[in-house]
Structure 1
Amino acid sequence: FGYLSSNGFISEDPTANLGSLRVGRSIPRFISEADIRQLLETAADTGTPEGRRDASILELLYATGLRVSELVALNVQDINFEEGFIRTWGKGSKERIVYLYPEALANLRVYVGGARVALLEQKRGQTAMYVNQRGERLTRQWVWNILKTSAKKAGIDPNITPHTLRHSFCDPFIAERCVPAPRTGVVGTFQHFHDAGLYAPYRSPRPGGVRAKPSKSMT
C-alpha cells in the first residue's frame, strides 16, 4: 500500500496507522552436557600439539563463554595462573576479568607449557596464546574449522558453532536463576529465554566439573 500511495495509484495508505509486526527472537541453540564431554574428550585424544591446542580452545570457549574474537586476541600475559583468571577485552574494548574452574586452569597451564612451546619451535617473541604450526596467531576462521572438525570426529551435530558453545555456557546460570549481576555482561540477552523454559536445567558449566566464578567487569 505504501508503494501504491506514494505513486498516486490510491489516495491514501490504509495501513499507515498500523504498527509493524513484531518478529520473535529465535531460540538460541546449545548442545547437551554429554555432547560437550564427547567433544572435549575427542579433541584431547589426538596426542599431538595441535590436538592439545584444539582441546584447550574448545574447553576455554565453553568454560568462559568468550567470543571467538576475544579468544584469538588472547596473549599469554593475559593469564593469571596464581589468581585463576584471564583478562580479556570485549565489545567496545571493555576490559573483563573471567575466572576459570580449577580443571580448565590446569589444562590451560599444560597447554602453555607444552603444546604451545612445541608449536612455536624457534619463533621467539610470539605473545599469542593460540598459534598454528608456523607459530602464528590463529584466526577466527581457524577456530571455526577446529570446532567443525572436532564435532565431526566426535559424532555430534556438525552444524555446531562457537556461539553454540557460548549459549551452552550461559545455560546453567540462567536455568538455575543464579546469574550474578557482574555476569550479565557475559550472558547478555539470553536471560529472557529462561522463563519460557527454553533452556535445560544443567547443574555445572563444566561436565562433571566445578562451577566457574563470575566474571568481573573492569571499569
Structure 2
Amino acid sequence: MALLDTNQLKEYIAISCKLLKPASFAHLIRFMKSFFRWSHEEGILSKNLTSKIKEPKVEKRIPKYLTEREIEHLRESCHPPIEKAIFEFMFSTGCRIGEIVSLEKNHINWTNQSAIVRGKGEKEREVYLNTLCDIWLKRYMESRNDHNPKVFVTARQPHKMSVAQMRYIIKRISNRAEIKKEIHPHQLRTQLCNSFDE
C-alpha cells in the first residue's frame, strides 16, 4: 500500500475506463473512493489518494416500454387460468412481484374490486382490479381445491409461490408471445403508468 502513489492510481483508472462498461467503471470508482477514504480515516494511509477523483456520471438507460400491441400478444399467450390471473393482476394494479406473491385471499374485496397489498417496509396500500382481472382471478380461485391462504400458489403440493417462480411464469408467457424484447415484469407496471399519463 505504501508504494502506491497518485500517478499509479490515475494510470490504473485510465486503463479501467477503457476496459469496463460505464456502469461497472462507476461502481469501481465508488468502491475505490470508499476504500481509500476508510484507509485514511483509520490511519492506514497518510492521505486519501482518491479525494480529488470525481465519480463519473452514468447516463440513465431509457426504459424499453412495451407497446399496446405487445401487451395484447402477451395477453393472448397466457394459457391456464393462473397465467391469465397473474398477468391481469400485474397489469391492472401495477403491483411488484413481491407484493403479488405475498397477497392473501382475505385481502381481496370482491365487492369494490380492490385488494390490500404490502409493499416495501410492510406498508399497506389499496389497489384496484379492472374487469378482466376480476374475471380471471375468480376463475383461477375457483379452479383450486387447496386451502392455502395465498392467492397465488404452486401447482404441485400448493404452497406460496416464490418471486423466482412468478418471474419464470412471466418469462414463459413472453416466450410464447415471441416478443424479441427481454420482458421484465416491471414493464407491465410502466405500461400501466403510461396509460394514465396519456
TM-score by length of 1: 0.64
Higher relative contact order (CA 8 A, sep 6+): 1
Distance 1:7 1:164 in 2: 44
Secondary structure in 2 aligned to 1:112? helix
Q: What residue in structure 2 maps to residue 83 of structure 1?
A: 112
Supply the RMSD in Å over aligned alpha carbons. 2.8
Q: Check the 8 A contact 1:152/1:158 in 2, yes or no.
A: no
Q: What amino acid does structure 1 have at the position aligned with 2:191?
A: S
Secondary structure in 1 aligned to 2:159? coil
Larger radius of gyration: 2
Unaligned runs of 5+ in 2: 11-46
TM-score by length of 2: 0.70
Secondary structure in 1 aligned to 2:116? strand
By how many angstroms is 1:68 displaced? 0.5
Q: Deviations over 1:56-79 (max 9, x none)?
A: 101111111111110100111111
Identity in percent: 27
Q: Cα–Cα, structure 1 residues 21 and 135, in superposed 2: closer, same or farther, change >3 Å? A: same
Q: Cα–Cα, structure 1 residues 13 and 92, in superposed 2: closer, same or farther, change >3 Å? A: closer
The one of 49, 54, 72 equivalent to 2:101 is 72
Secondary structure in 2 aligned to 1:98? strand
Q: Cα–Cα, structure 1 residues 148 and 19, in superposed 2: closer, same or farther, change >3 Å? A: same
Is it true that 1:59 corresponds to 2:88 in the alignment? yes
Return structure 1 stretches of 4+ with deviation > 6 angstroms. 6-9, 12-15
Distance 1:39 1:166 in 2: 14
The one of 143, 160, 166 equivalent to 2:183 is 160
By how many angstroms is 1:132 displaced? 1.5
Unaligned runs of 5+ in 1: 177-219
